[in-house]
Amino acid sequence: MGLTWKKRVFMALLGVATASGLTVLILILVEATNVLLPADTKFGIVLDAGSSHTSLFVYQWPANKEKDTGVVSQAMTCQIEGPGISSYTSDPTQAGESLRGCLEEALALVPKAQHQETPTFLGATAGMRLLSQKNSSQARDILAAVSQVLSESPVDFWGAKILDGQDEGAFGWITINYVLGMLLKYSSGEWILPEEEMLVGALDLGGASTQISFVPRSPILDQSTQATFLLYGANYSIYTHSYLCFGRDQVLYRLLVQLAQSSPVPRVRHPCYHRGYYATLPLAPLSESPCVHTMNSLNLTQNITVEGMGNPGDCMAALRGLFNFSSCQGREDCAFNGVYQPPVHGQFYAFSNFYYTFHFLNLTSRQPLSIVNATIWKFCLKSWNVVEASYPGQERWLRDYCASGLYILMLLLEGYKFSEETWPSIQFQKQAAGTDIGWTLGYMLNLTGMIPAEAPAEWRAQSYGIWTAGVVFVVLTLVAILGAAAVQLFWPQD
C-alpha cells in the first residue's frame, strides 16, 4: 500500500526542516569570523592639593591599553570648596571633610561595580612641601586626615603624599605633550608615535613653586635634573627643575617683607602697587612661611602701612633682589641661584599662574615681547582709582597683577633665559584639546603602566548578507517544524 497524503506532507515538511536547519548550522560554522568587542572602560581619580586650592579629576581609558599605557581622557573635574589643605593646620580633620562633596560627584560618575577597582591618589604640591619644612607633624596630621576620608571611600586608595618638585614638573610635561598628541596619535586607523622633534616644554607657575621641563638639544649634564619615562613603548629623557619659594604667592610675600625690612619707617613705599593705593597689613602671617627670611630689626607683631608708588622700573629692581643671578655669571648652562639648566629649546606651553596673570592683562594671543612689556608697564603706571573702576569685582588680586606680570617677565627672560627671538615659542594656555593642563593627567598616564591590561572579549559574528540568510533559514525551519506538527495533530486519517 502507498503512503497516504498525510504521511507524504509530513515527511516533506520534516525534510524541509532538516535541510533548512543544516543550512543554518553550516552558515554559523563556516562563515562566522572572530570579532573583538570594545574593551571595558577603566577609571581613575587624582586629587591635586595645591597651595591655594584642591581640584579633583576623574580620568578614563580603555582597559586593553596601547603598548602598556592607557589612552586616557578627562571625564570630570571638580573644584574642592575652601583653601588648600595646608591651610588646615588648626583643624586637620576639616582638610579631609572638605573632599567629600567632590568625591561623591566622582563616585556618581564611575559605575558602582567599578568603584573598588578605581585607583585614587592625592598629591600635595608646594604648599604642603613648605608646611612639611616648617612643621612636619602638622603636615603628617593633614595627610592622615585626608587619607582617612579617602580610605573610607569604596575606591582603590593608592595613598596621599607630598609630591617633590621634580615629579610635579615632569608629570606636567607628560600632560601637555599627551593632550597635544605628541606622545601618541591616531592616524589611518591605528595609533602611532609622532616625531620626537615635535615635543614641547612645560612652564608651570603655582602659588609656592615654579617648574620648567623640556627636552634639551644636548645631553643633560646634571643627573639630578633628569627624569625618564617609558610611555607607549618609547623612552623619554627630559630636563626638569622646580624652584620652591618662587611661586606667585610666595614671591609677593617675600617682596613685601624685603621692602618692609629696607624701609626706615612703618610706612612701606611699594613700587609694584598702583599709585594711590593705601592699606594696613599685618606682618605676622607673612613670617609664617619658610620662604620668608626676616631680620631681627623687623617687628613681626606690628602692622605696616603700604603706599603704592606705581613705578615699574623700581618694581623690577626690587624683584631682582629676590634672585641670585650672580651665581650663574658667565655660565650658559645656568638659570639662577646656581641651578644648572641647558639652553631652552623648542616650543613651550606656560600654564597655571603664567596663564591667569597674562589672561587678565589680555596677553595670551602670542603678542611680541615688545607689546607684552609695554602693556605691563602701562598697566603698572595706572592710578589705583582707575584700576579699581576698570575691573569691578576683582579686588582680591587686583593690586598684585602689576608685580605678577613683571615677575613673569623677569623669571622667563632673566631666569630661564628666553630672549626676544625665543619669546614667540611660548604659548600661555589654561587648557589644550579641552583638557586641563597640570601634573594630574601625567601622573595617571604613568600609573596606567602599573595596572594590568585586559584583553578585549572575542565573539563570533557574520557579515550582514550571511546573517540575513541565516535568519531566513531559521524562520523556514521553524515554519516547517510547526507545519509538520500541525499535520500530525490536525490532519484526519486517510
pLDDT digits (tens, 9 = 90+) for 243-284: 999 999 999 999 998 998 887 767 899 999 999 999 998 877
Respond yes or no: is residue 454 known to be catalytic. Answer: no
Q: What is the Cα–Cα distance from 212 to 205, expressed in whole angstroms? A: 9
Averaged confidence pLDDT in the chain: 85
List, as residue ranges, the binding site.
Answer: 207-211
**Fold of the domain built from segment(s) 41-245+433-448:** Nucleotidyltransferase; domain 5 (3.30.420)
Question: Phi/psi zone of residue 258: left (φ > 0), alpha (ψ -120 to 50 degrees), beta?
Answer: alpha
In this prediction, residue 189 carries a pLDDT of: 67
Q: What are phi and psi of 78, to 5 degrees?
A: -145, 130
- Quote the cell numbers at residue 180: 597635544
Give Cβ neighbours of residue 59 (< 8 Å, ≥ 6 apart).
43, 44, 45, 46, 72, 73, 74, 75, 440, 441, 444
Q: Which of 438, 447, 444, 418 is nearest to 169 (CA)?
A: 438
Pick the CATH number of 248-321+365-428 from 1.20.1260.10, 3.20.20.10, 3.30.420.150, 3.40.640.10: 3.30.420.150
From the candidates 168, 196, 197, 307, which is the catalytic residue? Answer: 168
In this prediction, residue 73 carries a pLDDT of: 85
- Quote the cell numbers at residue 383: 592710578
Q: Is the pLDDT of residue 64 over 90?
A: no
Q: Is the pLDDT of residue 37 over 50?
A: no
Looking at this protein, which amino acid is placed at residue 157? F
Q: For residue range 152-192, list pLDDT tens digits in order.
A: 999 999 999 999 999 999 999 999 998 898 888 766 666 67
Give Cβ neighbours of residue 489 (< 8 Å, ≥ 6 apart).
none
Q: Is the pLDDT of residue 204 over 90?
A: yes
Confidence class for position 35, pLDDT limits 50, 70, 90: very low
List, as residue ranges, the binding site for ATP.
Answer: 207-211
